[in-house]
Amino acid sequence: MSSNCDAIVLGAGIVGAACAMELAHAGMSVTVVEPGVIGGGATAAGMGHIVVMDDSPAQLAFTHYSQQLWHVLAPQLPPAAEYETPGTIWVAADEVEMQEVARKQSIYVTRGLPVRVLDSHALLHEEPHLRPGLAGGLLVSSDAVLYPPVAADYLLQQALSSGASLIRQAALQAGEGKACLANGDILSSPRIINALGAAAPSLAPGLPVHPRKGHLVITDRAPGFVRHQLVELGYVRSAGSGTADSVAFNVQPRKTGQVLIGSSRQYNAHDKSVDHQILQRMMQQTRRYMPGIDKLSVLRTWTGFRAATPDKLPLIGPHPADPTLFLATGHEGLGITTALATGKLIRHILTGSGSEIPVEPYLPARAFHPTTETAHA
Amino acid sequence: MRNRNEYTYDVLVIGGGPAGIAAACAAAPHARVAIVDENPALGGQIWRNSFPARQSHPSGPWHNRLQQTQATRLHGLRVFDAPAFNTLHAEAPDGLHILRYNKLILATGARERFLPFPGWTLRNVIGAGGLQAMVKSGLPVAGKRIVVAGSGPLLLAVAAFLKSHGAQVVAVCEQAPPRQLAHFATSIVAYPSKISQAVQYRTQLAAVPYRIGWWPVTAHGKSQVESVTLTNGARRLTLDCDFLACGFHLVPNTELPALLGCSLHNGFVAVDSLQQASVPNVFCAGEITGIGGLDKSLIEGSIAGYASTGQNSPARKLFAKRNKALGFAAAMERAFAPRPELRRLPAPQTTVCRCEDVAHELLQQHDSWRSAKLHTRCGMGPCQGRVCGAATEFLYGWPGESIRPPILPVRFDTLAEAEKPTAQH
Amino acid sequence: MPDAITITVNGAPVQVPSGVTVAVALTLLNEPCRTSVTGQPRGPLCAMGICYECRVTIDRISNRLACQTLCVPGMEVSTHA
Ligand SMILES: Cc1cc2nc3c(=O)[nH]c(=O)nc-3n(C[C@H](O)[C@H](O)[C@H](O)COP(=O)(O)OP(=O)(O)OC[C@H]3O[C@@H](n4cnc5c(N)ncnc54)[C@H](O)[C@@H]3O)c2cc1C
Ligand SMILES: Cc1cc2nc3c(=O)[nH]c(=O)nc-3n(C[C@H](O)[C@H](O)[C@H](O)COP(=O)(O)OP(=O)(O)OC[C@H]3O[C@@H](n4cnc5c(N)ncnc54)[C@H](O)[C@@H]3O)c2cc1C
Ligand code: FES
């Protein structure tokens, strides 16, 4: 069987779902290809922190823009998407990290974000279960939290109700205007979007995207134990490290009252099983910041893979070697946050509609150097 | 910081029911053995609060035998993880216990299968074995009106037990069709001990109606059960009661063997003739290899205990007895298989996942356990699917999901400690 | 009550037979163990530590299993999470 449509979206994680929704809203005929559970990949593993980050100006612009899109969409999300705006507190352990608070504050203020610097006392007032003696923090009250698989499903349903169709198959090959499916069907389209997350290189060989493994721990309901998403500022250093395994204090209040605990980053770890060593380091780091967490009951642990790129920015736009192939991957630890903005950029690139932010920093061409290609062959 | 205890044994037995006790008895004369159970005392389900018991009790000889060994008994420890080679981690009220072994015998037993029907979440609708356990833990039932329903030989055992504690057992309702059960009755002729037990229960329950081919359809009441409607497909009957004791036979506790990577077959751990699982140095015995009752657990436990200490000839002497027990288990499996009508019991709004209150109508929209779980929270609560997993497998045909540590909820500090860094960190 | 001990349930002192589990005590007092996430009162189901329907707060530690815990004099049990 062979069929034609304006665009094919491969993968129905939150990124693919957002792309499908935008393209369907633009009036395109869209076919979404996904063999598994909707939002069952990295989207099901992620914390769902909708956070503005400022590792680079391009990251800041992208995350801020996307967060605003979430704020607009929020009232329409189903209750099971558990959308809430608890805000983030970037926790500073010492005076060095307080300097990072000041730097971050000045940048966030210029973007009009609602921020407040907390001293040691104010920090404890906001989060009584933190260890006393921490230097302070930066409260960013516009940051949100949601439950990603339900949000992804909502976005996909929007696409489907605007005429998109869903095929429950795996794609085996994509390029030159064709996508071959596991059941032997061939779909044709001048626009094929690879939104496979960390699996993106499987259908686009040579893509400079690496899986970066993360662990999470969830507790039983303990309402009020944590009130904001809390992230240590040391995280800025550890997340930035490109090679070494790292852990950071990163806890999140779920709407259910549960506490979700991250985060770890590992390269060269490809198997899904829980790695006791890194889990231990992550939990010990959590206890150092929040000793009271010891008494909570842990229900479950799991892992997921972020799609990491060398420059920590996503790959959104045409594949340099194939004009029919488009990429929407490489979101590392920010794909939930930036899914909606990714959908907008893909729409802009494919339909020529206006874009509210420049697309250049995210275009894939920048990442394709002969050296990186051979490294992944 | 709480305690951190470490032990090493030649043979470590997990589960202190009949299978685990028999295993410890067989292994202990030849090795350093410990037997671990989460309850405050050994005994498992059937010998709960009766180990030690009067000498006349069937557990008496086993108690004496265990007494004569040097086996260490570790009660109140719940094994939750298998983090490293030949190492298990358990939680107790005082903290973490690290258990190392050369050989491991798993005898973690079974739990009741619960199937949802309207009203099954009302208070005092409780497992059949569950109500028995409550009575063993001190709940007086004298004069209480109790309907015992569901499936399996446990129903009669529980009804007789409740009656002996003064309860007014209103009826015992077995869902299995009469013909299916008649087959079973003929097939157990080969097992005289089973017959005498059945006759004994029937005598004890002389005045109690035993309705074969009847099952519960609705429990009624405001916040606790007041009556239950039952059917045989053609007729309906409503009985007033203070308790509805209801369970649909048993399902094995295979979480720990699955975590260790043991192969399962039809939901049970696959073992060879010496009770060895697919993972080296791991033996499994009792209900986790097939629901077969006391005799099977004792025989398999003994074989595992002998085999784990290289005593293969006494182990082999038990093969014939075990074959018989396995025949009985197979007959039982057929006899008490849940009838298809039970799939139609839940109404659209009936809660299926009790931890997260997920309704049948929501689950019906999904095509796999994982899809349902991710999108409805079914199975995400503290029981981690131990109750709803067996129900969703039966209702919707969804096989369960892969297992991850911890296999039981544990305190954060226990898990964090458990993962204590090794030297290189 | 022969051999009764006193515990408190939701702040009120009550007498229960000695040697019983918290699940048995609450059943005798006709008290639910917990309120489900949609507000239904719930009591013990499995009585063997599997179902977690009986979880209560005991001596200010939440999520304790009432069916696996024996009552001791002076114990404070709360059924409001
Ligand atoms: C531990 C952890 C914590 C995180 N926390 C956050 C956070 O707090 N905030 C945030 O913004 N981000 C977070 N992230 C990142 C975020 O989860 C990801 O960036 C995001 O989910 C990526 O979505 P995706 O749609 O690109 O990929 P995925 O969700 O992985 O979707 C890819 C889809 O493609 C499908 N697929 C694969 N192969 C094929 C094929 N051959 N044919 C068809 N389909 C295929 C898969 O089945 C899958 O559904 C976290 C990630 C991890 C691992
Ligand atoms: C609720 C119930 C009531 C029953 N009542 C009767 C009855 O009245 N009469 C009858 O003939 N048969 C009864 N049975 C059947 C009975 O269980 C079997 O006949 C036989 O006793 C099973 O023996 P076992 O050793 O295989 O398992 P069990 O007796 O179930 O023993 C397994 C033990 O392992 C422990 N355990 C499991 N996982 C862990 C872990 N992770 N860490 C630590 N400990 C763990 C359990 O708590 C349990 O004590 C009942 C079964 C159940 C489930
Ligand atoms: S009643 Fe099931 S865990 Fe206590």
pLDDT tens digits, B373-409: 999 999 999 999 999 999 999 999 998 878 889 999 9
Structure tokens at A321: 């070697």
B64 contact partners, CB below 8 Å, separation of at least 6: none
- Domain end marker among B186, B215, B248: B248
Same domain for B45 and B126? no
Identify which of B409, B415, B422 has the shortest CB distance to residue A220. B409
Ligand 2 neighbours, Cβ below 6 Å, are: B 14-20, 36-39, 44-46, 77-79, 107-112, 129, 132, 154, 157, 250, 253, 256, 286-287, 293-294, 297; C 48
The bound ligand whose nearest atom lies closest to the alpha carbon of B295 is 2
Candidates A211, A217, A214, A229; CA nearest to A284 is A217
Decide if A220 and C61 are in contact by the 8 Å CB cutoff. Answer: no
Kindly report the number of other CB atoms within 10 A of residue C45's CB atom: 27
- How near does any CA of chain B get to the CA of C4, in Å? 12
* Structural domains counted in chain B: 3
- Kindly identify the ligand whose nearest atom is closest to the C-alpha of B15: 2
Q: Which tokens sit at B51?
A: 């180990």
Closest residue of A to C60, CA-based?
A295
Q: Tens digits of per-residue pLDDT, B251-283?
A: 999 999 999 999 999 999 999 999 999 999 999
| Gap from C11 CA to chain B (nearest CA, Å) | 22
Residue B374: list chain A partners with CB under 8 A: 37, 39-40, 44, 149
Interatomic CA distance for residues A342 and A339, integer angstroms: 5
Q: With beta carbons under 8 A apart, name residues in chain B contacting C47.
A: 126-127, 129-131, 133-134, 137
Question: Do B326 and B261 share a domain, yes or no?
Answer: yes
Residue of A nearest to C62 (CA): A296
B357 touches chain A (CB under 8 A): no
pLDDT tens by residue, B22-75: 999 999 999 999 999 998 889 999 998 778 776 778 888 999 999 999 999 999
Mean residue pLDDT of chain B comes to: 93
Size of interface A-C (CB pairs under 8 A): 9
Ligand 1 atom with the smallest distance to the CA of A11 is 34
Which among C21, C30, C63 has CB closest to B138? C21
Residue of B nearest to C29 (CA): B139
The verdict on B84 and B153 lying in the same domain is no
Q: Give the pLDDT mean for B153-168.
A: 95
Mutate to test the interface with B, among C22, C34, C53 (most CBs of B within 10 A): C53
Contacts of A17 (CB under 8 A, 6+ apart): A32, A38, A39, A152, A153, A155, A156, A159, A339
Q: How far is CA A83 from CA A144, B23, B355, C8, in A?
A: 7, 52, 21, 39
Confidence of residue B422 (pLDDT cuts 50, 70, 90): very low
Domain co-membership, B256 together with B295: yes
Residues 214-273 of A with CB under 8 A from B: 217, 219-220, 273
- ipTM for the predicted complex comes to 0.96
Q: Which residues contact A14 (CB under 8 A, 6 or more apart)?
A: A39, A43, A148, A151, A152, A155, A335, A336, A339
CB of A276 less than 8 A from some CB of B: yes
User: Which of B194, B216, B248 is the C-terminal boundary of a domain?
Assistant: B248
CA distance to partner chain C, nearest, from residue A25 (Å): 36
Clarify whether residues B152 and B67 are in a common domain.
Answer: no
Question: Same domain, yes or no, for B24 and B84?
Answer: yes
* Cα separation, B58 vs B80, whole angstroms: 31
**Candidate of B13, B46, B62, B164 to mutate for ligand 2, largest count of ligand atoms within 8 Å of Cβ:** B46
Assess contact for B348 and B359: CB atoms under 8 A.
yes
Round to whole Å and give the CA distance between B76 and B91.
Answer: 8
Q: Are residues B237 and B255 in the same domain?
A: no
Chain C residue numbers with beta carbons less than 8 Å from the beta carbon of B45 are: 48
Selection from B43, B47, B104 nearest residue B79 by Cα: B104
Residues B94 and B128 in one domain: no
Is residue A233 lining ligand 1, measured as CB closer than 6 Å?
no
Domain that holds residue B7: 3-111+251-333
Answer yes or no: are the C-beta atoms of B123 and B164 closer than 8 Å: no
- State the distance from the centre of ligand 1 to the C-alpha of A143, rounded, in angstroms: 20
Q: Whose CA is nearest to atom 12 of ligand 2?
A: B46
The last residue of a domain, from among B333, B357, B376: B333
For ligand 3, say whether the CB of C27 is within 6 Å of any of its atoms: no
Kindly give the confidence (pLDDT) of every residue in chain A, 377 residues in length, as a single tens digit, with 9 standing for 90 and above. Answer: 456 899 999 999 999 999 999 999 999 999 999 999 999 999 999 999 999 999 999 999 999 999 999 999 999 999 999 999 999 999 999 999 999 999 999 999 999 999 999 999 999 999 999 999 999 999 999 999 999 999 999 999 999 999 999 999 999 999 999 999 999 999 999 999 999 999 999 999 999 999 999 999 999 999 999 999 999 998 655 555 556 899 999 999 999 999 999 999 998 888 999 999 999 999 999 999 999 999 999 999 999 999 999 999 999 999 999 999 999 999 999 999 999 999 999 999 999 988 999 999 999 999 886 544 443 43
Buried b (16+ CB within 10 A) or exposed e, B58-89: ebeebbeebeeeebebbebbbbbbbbeebbbb
Cα of first residue to Cα of last residue in chain A, in angstroms, is: 32
Residue A244: predicted pLDDT: 81
CA–CA distance, B130 with B287 (Å, rounded to integer):
17
Sorting pLDDT into bands at 50, 70 and 90, what band is B195? confident
| Residue B239, domain CATH | 3.50.50.60
Give the E-state strand segments of B213-347 in sequence order.
Answer: 215-220, 227-231, 236-240, 243-248, 250-252, 264-265, 268-269, 282-284
Angle at A309 between CA A307 and CA A313, to 5 degrees: 100
Q: What is the per-residue pLDDT for C13?
A: 97
Give chain A positions within 8 Å (CB) of C81. 221, 223
B65-94 average pLDDT score = 94
Same domain flag for B195 and B239 = yes
pLDDT digits (tens, 9 = 90+) for B102-132: 999 999 999 999 999 999 999 999 999 999 9
Residues of A in contact with C63 (CB under 8 A): 220, 297
Rounded to the nearest angstrom, the gap between the alpha carbon of residue A13 and the centroid of all alpha carbons in its chain is: 10
b/e burial code for range A322-355 (CB count within 10 A of at least 16 → b): eebbbbbbbbbbbbbbbbbbbbbbbbbbbbeeee
Ligand in nearest proximity to the CA of B13: 2
Q: With an 8 Å Cβ cutoff, are A220 and B422 in contact?
A: no
C-alpha A246 – ligand 2 centre gap (Å): 43
Tell me how close the Cα of C37 comes to any Cα of chain B, in angstroms. Answer: 6
Query: For C27, which of B129, B139, B351 is closest by C-beta distance?
Result: B139
SS3 B425: coil
Task: Tokens for A46, please give them.
Answer: 């992620």
Gap between the Cα atoms of B142 and B163, Å rounded: 8
Exposed / middle / buried, residue B387 (Cβ in 10 Å: 0-12, 13-18, 19+): buried
Q: Is A10 on the interface with B (CB under 8 A)?
A: no
pLDDT of residue B185: 79
Beta bridge mates, C9: C12, C77
| B200 and B231 housed in the same domain | yes
CB-based contact A128:A222 (threshold 8 Å): no
- Same domain for B97 and B13, yes or no, is yes
Predicted confidence (pLDDT) per residue in C32-65, tens digit: 999 999 999 999 999 999 999 999 999 988 889 9
Buried (b) or exposed (e) across B338-355, using 16+ Cβ within 10 A? bbeebeebbeeebbbbbb
Q: Which of B138, B351, B387 sits opposite C24 (nearest CB)?
A: B138
Which residue owns the Cα nearest ligand 1 atom 47? A36
User: What per-residue confidence (pLDDT) applies to B402?
Assistant: 80
Chain C residue with minimum CA distance to B140:
C28
Q: Which two tokens stand for residue B123?
A: 């208070």
> How far is the C-alpha of B230 from the C-alpha of B234, rounded, in Å?
10
C44 close to ligand 3 (CB < 6 Angstrom): yes
A197 lines ligand 1 (CB under 6 A): yes
**Which domains does chain C carry?**
4-78 (3.10.20.740)
pTM above 0.90? yes
Query: Are B98 and B118 contained in the same domain?
Result: no
Distance between CA A203 and CA A11 in Å, rounded? 11
What is the CA(C30)–ligand 3 centre distance, in A? 16
Residue B425 confidence (pLDDT) = 32
